[in-house]
Amino acid sequence: MFPTRALRSGGGGGPIGKYGKFLGDWGNFGGQPQRGIISYTVSSNRQNPLAGTLNDAIFNTWRRFSSQVLYIAPPLLLAYYALSWATERNEYLNSKAGRKEFAGDE
């Protein structure tokens, strides 16, 4: 086994690096703070988190609806037409005229 693997495994906590500096175990890195990194943020009371929400919601909803309507509408219309035809046919066959017309078929 190589000594570097044992040192970098995190169990021993031995010296690591060129000058034998200990970086710390996982979650406990005790190194020097980095320099030269600049980050900018906007104060939370200066942000507008709902800016453009209503406008984006309307156009996003329309875009999603228009891209899916041709997949949903034709089967729904076909199912509605078939259901209404079947309901009318059932009502006719169970009426006096329907029973009289198809009485001998059974």
DSSP letters for 58-74: HHHHHHHHHHHHHHHHH
- The pLDDT of 40-66, averaged and rounded, is 88
Q: Above 60 in pLDDT, residue 12?
A: no
Q: How many domains does the chain have?
A: 1
Q: Write out the residue range of the structural domain in which residue 74 sits.
A: 70-106
- Cβ 15 vs Cβ 22: under 8 Å: yes
Return the higher-pLDDT residue of 32 and 69. Answer: 69
Q: Residue 25: which pLDDT band, with cuts at 50, 70 and 90?
A: low
pLDDT band at 34 (very low <50, low <70, confident <90, very high): low
Structural domain includes residue 55? no
In a domain, 60, yes or no: no
Q: Is residue 101 part of a domain?
A: yes
Average pLDDT over the chain, rounded to whole? Answer: 80
